Amino acid sequence: MELGTISDMILQNKMVLNAQPKWTFGKNTCNTYEVYVAYFRAEDGSLIPSWPIMEIIEKDDALTMLFSIALLREAVRRTVDISTRVSTNLTLSLNLLPKFAESENFVDQVKSCLSDFGLEAKRLQFEVSELQDLNEAGCANLNVIHDELGVALVMANFGTSHTNMPLLRQVHFDGLELDKSYAAHIPGDELTCKIAIAIQHMAHTIDMFLCAKGIENQDQFEFFEEIGAFKGQGNLISSPMTMEEMENYVKLYALPKGHK
């Protein structure tokens, strides 16, 4: 697919967003949703899966910026709209591409988006994969939006490959998101269970919360709830959904305004 075609789809807002909830253990509530682009809509109206297009976007600096800003603004807009209609306070979680975080206008783009749509900074959360390398400017930018604005930061895909402890030391993260490969072996594999418990203890020690991904059955859900994980995500809780389905889910499980 040509770069110009991808650029046009982004500029014309042909992104089709999906969402997946992050359940709060112990409260039977869900106010946090990961939002991402599931499809792009072609000129003929057909839906194109996002993953091959994202591979092209991530290799081009200009497309990365264009896409990242468009996704941020559209996801924030949709989240505010749903929050207003349902009268609740939703937290939006977005995966962050390193090139966007490292850009000179990253902080200004985040400030502008929050101001334009009226989303509280604490209701925005960026997920930064531990598989990504951020340069010094990227780390500094993340710390600015965290420390000065109050945007939450989560290290995603934690526990995969070579765990990125240097990034954990450089960026002021609020939480760790345990990679779904761990839940897949819980509770059957004793060693994996012990490692998950150790990671939860580490997160607690460094004043971070733990979110467990890949929860597919009740045994996994109960395990992570028992060890003190803060949030969980996976098909047992809900498979990915359209933004319209998300609004119905919010009506069932989100706390109304006035609750913390």
Residue 133: which CATH number?
A: 3.20.20.450
Any domain includes 10: yes
Question: Does the predicted TM-score (pTM) go above 0.75?
Answer: yes
Specify the pLDDT at position 150: 97
Could you list the pLDDT tens digit for every one of the 260 residues in the chain?
688 889 999 999 999 999 999 999 998 899 999 999 999 999 889 999 999 999 999 999 999 999 999 999 999 999 999 999 999 999 999 999 999 999 999 999 999 999 999 999 999 999 998 877 899 999 999 999 999 999 999 999 998 866 788 899 999 999 999 999 999 999 999 999 999 999 999 999 999 999 999 999 999 999 999 999 999 999 999 999 999 999 999 999 998 876 55
CA-CA distance, 180 to 229, in Å (whole number)? 14
Specify the pLDDT at position 258: 62
Q: Write the DSSP assignment of the chain as a string of letters.
A: --HHHHHHHHHTT-EEEEEEEEEETTTTEEEEEEEEEEEEE-TTS-EEEHHHHHHHHTT-HHHHHHHHHHHHHHHHHHHHHHHHHHTB--EEEEE--HHHHTSTTHHHHHHHHHHHHT--GGGEEEEEETTS---HHHHHHHHHIIIII--EEEEEEETSSS--HHHHHHS--SEEEE-HHHHTTTTT-HHHHHHHHHHHHHHHHTT-EEEEE---SHHHHHHHHHHT-SEEESTTT---EEHHHHHHHHHHHPPBTT--
Any domain includes 258: no
Structural domain for 50, as ranges: 3-253
Specify the pLDDT at position 187: 95
CA-CA distance, 198 to 210, in Å (whole number)? 11
- Total domains in the chain come to 1
Match 């993953």 to its residue by tokens.
Answer: 51
Any domain includes 259: no
Contact present, 96 and 69 (Cβ < 8 Å):
no
Any domain includes 260: no
